[in-house]
Chains A and B, each alone.
Chain A
Amino acid sequence: MRLLDIITQQALRSVAVVGLAKNAGKTVALNSLIRQAAERGLALGLSSVGYDGEKIDFVSRLAKPRIDVEAGTVIATAAATLERATAPLEIIATTNFVTALGEVMLVRAREGGSVEVAGPDSYREMGVCIARMQELGCELILVDGALDRVGGAAPTLTEGAILATGAVAGSSLGRILSRTLHMVHLFSLPEVVHRELRVAATGAIEAGRILLFTAEGERTLPFRTALGHAAAVVDCLPLVEPCYLIVPGAINESLLSELANRPRLCRNVVLICQDPTHIFSWPEVWQKYTGCGGRVEVLKHIRLLAVTVNPTAPRGRSYPPAEFAREIALSLLPLPVFDLFISDRAVGV
């Protein structure tokens, strides 16, 4: 089975490719998907999203990634990248979304060639671009997306996601495995099901107010986020009664630690946040929290389709490819894992 097969089998129309760290092989995954889509004659749409630090190489001031496209591909990218494309481009529409590289334009490659892709800065704008590329007839839209530090991320906009991980993600195989597993685990956190709770949580997150939800009723806490006052927030929790704590913005390590240090409270509370990209925690703190019985639910989880691995880090460290890929594939079973440097077929275990 190839990477694209996973997408087409589930009839997904948009997929984000995100990296666990820089140089984890995101662009390789993207190029491989583009090639496979071209072979199958899929009408493709392409873009990238994230803040400029992630989209532009600071040394060269060039947008990354630079991607080879076939004739017919639609791309949402900033005006300044158009002149550096080797593919002749037809300009279809403007978007009014302005970035450091100019306004984001919707263009179509009239011949094959390479283009730099630098899409919109915000996730709301990316959502609009995806919709417009679909209107233009794109059957599959691929988004190069950062898992960035400021709320929201590409995978929550698309129907599915592919995670790139590799030797750059940690100093040892164990470390890489634990970080990858951790991220895969976060992606698949359960979604809030209870209808009333969903309504309350959506409202509180939109309003930017921490909300305590119990069988007795709802109580808005006097905080806009948990950042900076984890202890004060935890002090507001009821001692025995089970409750949901809805957290707008990020759930960070200080909140998780604070709860883990009070195991009795920890067992009674379920934290709720927007989506998995709003949880900022290393595996250790997370495990301590869940170890105490702590739980987290999200309004929207991420449908992870596959993981790609890159056994080589650009500076030095690397692992034997076959063993590395197999090791990760084993620990992620049944999730398909690919080492695209070796083969476009999933790693067998």
Chain B
Amino acid sequence: MRPWSEQSAVLGLSYFFTSLNPASPYGRAQLTRLVPYVPGEEALLEEELLAVGLFVTLLESSASDARLAKVRHHLAQIPDWREQFNRVAAGGTLSDAELFTLKQNLFFFADIKNLLAEEPTLVADFAPPDFSALMALLDPEKTGSPSFYLSDAYSPRLAAIRRHIRDERKEATRLSLTLQEKAARTVALAFNFSGEVTVPRREVKVIAGLEESGLFALSRETYTDLSYTRKPTAQEVAKAAHIETQKRLEHEEEEKVRRQLAEDIRPSLPLLGQAMARLGRLDLTLSKALLARRWRGTRPSIVSGDRPLQFSMTAARHPEVEAALRAEGLEFTPIGVTLTRGVTVITGANMGGKTVALGTVGLLAALAAYGMYVPAEACRTSLFQGITLLTGEYRPGASGLSRFGQEIVNLNQSLPAGQSRSLLLIDEFAASTNPREGSALAQALVEHLDQTESITMLTTHYERLARLGAVAHWQVVGLSQVPSAVLAQALAAAGSDAINHLSKLMDYRLFRVEPSEAHSREALRVARFLGLPESIVERALSLLQVKGEE
């Protein structure tokens, strides 16, 4: 049996994951770890659906909707602190920038906590804990501002060193200014702002005076000029060295403060981890509710694990297909179907949406298992051990197998074991081999699957499958409800736009066929509509009649 994850793309779940779009790094992290609920976890799934439902209900009130929009806005701004979290846990320290992002996290935690305080139903499960102690640690000056500074308040020693450096610097500047003025008076020259005097080479006397004064050293020269800087005095050199030493001490003390801060933060890690997890869950659950609203979703009702397998949906839509259709100005026709343990066969017109129906069943069953509201008016489903959709999509050469070969290989990997409670969705089995053998194979497969505990839904053109005793038979309404006159008129008007016209006339809904009902001639109607020469269609019709008489 294939694991679920491999089926994600086929089932169209990637569209779901992309559409969820959680706002925060913590929500995104939880999204990547999201797994479906499996049989036996029905109660847990109910809890999750209840949580989503809580948000869905809140979103209906405009006040809560606005509040949750603010929550989401804050979530989107939280910087990711997981890497730093792990570093502190492993005994490491944090840079100022990393301490700043921690403080930012705390600010957003507090903002979200305040917003959630207005939503009593959410506080218990989603509000982040209180961090005022940790906040006080990161705001020693009690400014209440979200900025971070390795403040003097962390260490009296740091404060003293900094004060000392500040005084020494002032003193040094004053000293060098005094000395510079004195030197300038001595040689009667002006310094530029970077502390240089420049003299043209031709001013030999001035240069000699500079050199003799012993106060200057040559700093650079050009063809025409010489530039000098003042030699620092021993006092200045000593002062500069002293400031350097003090700067080093300041640096060491800062490092010490950072280490101590990491120490002081470490005991808060469990609480921080809890806050990140809660906000991640808040984010993801809110994202589910928002998507449920966008998809006009409904809460699936989950069949208890001790009941026989069951899946039913009413007026269901496939959001990805719906979006694609809408982009072309078309509407998605909601479909409904009921499946029970055993095999259900879907027949009907070509281009009648059988494959989409199959995909919609798979998607809805999977969404429900992910604790998501489903795009339908109603949906009732069991939890499945596996959901597999075999679309018969074929890439020539990719596997060295023919289309038929690949189909068999895929089927082999997906055939549920006798007791497995799975959902198997098969599109047009064995349609690419010769019809005699194909239909025999399909019949054998249907008979086999009917003996398992699983639900199988199978689309086919082989009418004999639909006539098998135990099989439930559904059919696409297709063109059967379109009066011949309308069809003829549309046919005349269609021209090159036949496909578009066809999709407008086609009824994609499914209906349950009772065993006695006659089968359709939908393929011929479609072929005619798409412009196959009338003589060929007529001939095919007459062949069918002959066969029918036999």
Interface string of A329-349 (1 = CB under 8 A from B): 000000000001111100000
Chain B residues, Cβ within 8 Å of A83: 95-96
Cross-chain contact of A318 among B100, B196, B222 (Cβ < 8 A): B222
Cross-chain contact of B193 among A90, A102, A320, A340 (Cβ < 8 A): A340
Of the listed residues B146, B147, B165, the one surrounded by the most CB atoms of chain A closer than 10 A to its CB is: B147
Given contacts A86-B247, A321-B225, contact A312 B220 (CB under 8 A): yes
Cross-chain contact of B104 among A88, A94, A311 (Cβ < 8 A): A94
* CA gap between A2 and B225 in the complex, in Å: 24
Tell me whether A191 is interfacial, beta carbon within 8 Å: no
The residue on A at minimum CB distance from B201 is: A320
Cross-chain contact of A342 among B149, B169, B198, B250 (Cβ < 8 A): B198
* CA gap between A312 and B97 in the complex, in Å: 40
Chain A residues, Cβ within 8 Å of B101: 94
Of the listed residues B148, B222, B254, the one surrounded by the most CB atoms of chain A closer than 10 A to its CB is: B222
* CA gap between A105 and B95 in the complex, in Å: 13
In the complex, the answer to whether B223 meets A111 with C-beta atoms within 8 Å is: no
List A315-330 residues whose CB lies under 8 Å from chain B.
318-322
Cross-chain contact of B198 among A79, A88, A341 (Cβ < 8 A): A341
Tell me whether A199 is interfacial, beta carbon within 8 Å: no
Interface string of A111-125 (1 = CB under 8 A from B): 110000000000000
In the complex, the answer to whether A343 meets B192 with C-beta atoms within 8 Å is: yes
* CA gap between A131 and B506 in the complex, in Å: 57
Given contacts A35-B193, A79-B97, contact A312 B147 (CB under 8 A): no
In the complex, the answer to whether A319 meets B149 with C-beta atoms within 8 Å is: no
Cross-chain contact of B162 among A88, A94, A344 (Cβ < 8 A): A88
Tell me whether A93 is interfacial, beta carbon within 8 Å: yes
Cross-chain contact of B222 among A31, A111, A311, A343 (Cβ < 8 A): A311
Give A130 Cβ to nearest chain B Cβ, in Å.
19
In the complex, the answer to whether B148 meets A321 with C-beta atoms within 8 Å is: no
Tell me whether A272 is interfacial, beta carbon within 8 Å: no
In the complex, the answer to whether B192 meets A344 with C-beta atoms within 8 Å is: yes
Tell me whether A32 is interfacial, beta carbon within 8 Å: yes
Tell me whether A92 is interfacial, beta carbon within 8 Å: yes
In the complex, the answer to whether B165 meets A82 with C-beta atoms within 8 Å is: no
Given contacts A82-B97, A111-B166, contact A319 B147 (CB under 8 A): no
Interface of B is mostly: mixed
Interface string of B207-230 (1 = CB under 8 A from A): 000000000000010111101000
In the complex, the answer to whether B194 meets A28 with C-beta atoms within 8 Å is: yes
Q: How many residues of A contact B (CB 8 A)?
A: 33
Tell me whether A89 is interfacial, beta carbon within 8 Å: yes
List A271-315 residues whose CB lies under 8 Å from chain B.
311-312
Tell me whether A110 is interfacial, beta carbon within 8 Å: yes
Tell me whether B150 is interfacial, beta carbon within 8 Å: yes
In the complex, the answer to whether A89 meets B96 with C-beta atoms within 8 Å is: yes
* CA gap between A28 and B195 in the complex, in Å: 12
In the complex, the answer to whether A344 meets B193 with C-beta atoms within 8 Å is: yes
In the complex, the answer to whether A341 meets B192 with C-beta atoms within 8 Å is: yes
The residue on A at minimum CB distance from B158 is: A88
In the complex, the answer to whether B192 meets A320 with C-beta atoms within 8 Å is: no
* CA gap between A86 and B250 in the complex, in Å: 10
Chain B residues, Cβ within 8 Å of A86: 247
Tell me whether B200 is interfacial, beta carbon within 8 Å: yes
The residue on A at minimum CB distance from B97 is: A79
* Tier of interface size on chain B: 20 to 34
* CA gap between A230 and B497 in the complex, in Å: 43
In the complex, the answer to whether A111 meets B97 with C-beta atoms within 8 Å is: no
Report the number of A-B residue pairs with Cβ-Cβ less than 8 Å: 75
In the complex, the answer to whether B224 meets A88 with C-beta atoms within 8 Å is: no
Give A23 Cβ to nearest chain B Cβ, in Å.
13
Tell me whether A231 is interfacial, beta carbon within 8 Å: no
Tell me whether A12 is interfacial, beta carbon within 8 Å: no
* CA gap between A321 and B225 in the complex, in Å: 8
Chain B residues, Cβ within 8 Å of A344: 192-193
Chain B residues, Cβ within 8 Å of A94: 79, 100-101, 104
Chain A residues, Cβ within 8 Å of B196: 341
Chain A residues, Cβ within 8 Å of B169: 112
Chain A residues, Cβ within 8 Å of B192: 340-344
In the complex, the answer to whether A90 meets B79 with C-beta atoms within 8 Å is: no
In the complex, the answer to whether A320 meets B225 with C-beta atoms within 8 Å is: yes
Give A80 Cβ to nearest chain B Cβ, in Å.
9
Tell me whether A100 is interfacial, beta carbon within 8 Å: no
List B148-204 residues whose CB lies under 8 Å from chain A.
148-150, 162, 165-166, 169, 190, 192-194, 196, 198, 200
In the complex, the answer to whether B193 meets A110 with C-beta atoms within 8 Å is: no
Tell me whether A91 is interfacial, beta carbon within 8 Å: yes
Given contacts A111-B166, A340-B193, A341-B196, contact A90 B148 (CB under 8 A): yes
* CA gap between A86 and B147 in the complex, in Å: 19
The residue on B at minimum CB distance from A318 is: B222
* CA gap between A314 and B432 in the complex, in Å: 78
* CA gap between A28 and B100 in the complex, in Å: 33
Chain B residues, Cβ within 8 Å of A342: 192, 198
Chain B residues, Cβ within 8 Å of A88: 149-150, 162, 250, 254
Cross-chain contact of A91 among B100, B193, B200, B220 (Cβ < 8 A): B100
Chain B residues, Cβ within 8 Å of A340: 192-193
The residue on A at minimum CB distance from B79 is: A94
Given contacts A92-B147, A94-B104, A318-B223, contact A111 B95 (CB under 8 A): no
Chain B residues, Cβ within 8 Å of A312: 220, 222
In the complex, the answer to whether A319 meets B224 with C-beta atoms within 8 Å is: yes
List B247-275 residues whose CB lies under 8 Å from chain A.
247, 250, 254
Chain B residues, Cβ within 8 Å of A318: 222-224
* CA gap between A105 and B147 in the complex, in Å: 11
List A37-71 residues whose CB lies under 8 Å from chain B.
none
Give A100 Cβ to nearest chain B Cβ, in Å.
16
Chain B residues, Cβ within 8 Å of A321: 198, 222, 224-225
The residue on B at minimum CB distance from A103 is: B97
In the complex, the answer to whether B165 meets A111 with C-beta atoms within 8 Å is: yes
The residue on A at minimum CB distance from B162 is: A111
Chain B residues, Cβ within 8 Å of A89: 96, 149
In the complex, the answer to whether B198 meets A110 with C-beta atoms within 8 Å is: no
In the complex, the answer to whether B149 meets A91 with C-beta atoms within 8 Å is: yes
* CA gap between A311 and B104 in the complex, in Å: 49
The residue on A at minimum CB distance from B99 is: A91
Cross-chain contact of B224 among A28, A91, A320 (Cβ < 8 A): A320
Give B191 Cβ to nearest chain A Cβ, in Å.
10
Give B417 Cβ to nearest chain A Cβ, in Å.
51
A and B contact pairs by CB, cutoff 8 A, 27 listed: A31-B193, A32-B193, A79-B97, A82-B95, A83-B96, A86-B247, A88-B162, A89-B96, A89-B149, A91-B147, A91-B149, A94-B104, A102-B97, A105-B97, A108-B147, A111-B162, A111-B166, A112-B169, A311-B222, A319-B224, A320-B200, A320-B224, A321-B222, A321-B225, A341-B194, A341-B196, A342-B198
11 further contact pairs, Cβ within 8 A, besides A90-B147, A91-B148, A320-B222: A88-B149, A88-B254, A93-B146, A312-B222, A318-B222, A318-B224, A320-B200, A321-B222, A341-B196, A343-B190, A344-B192
Residues of chain A having any CB pair with chain B under 8 Å: 28, 31-32, 35, 79, 82-83, 86, 88-94, 102, 105, 108, 110-112, 311-312, 318-322, 340-344
What 7 pairs across the A-B complex have the smallest Cβ distances?
A90-B149, A318-B222, A320-B224, A91-B100, A92-B147, A91-B148, A79-B97
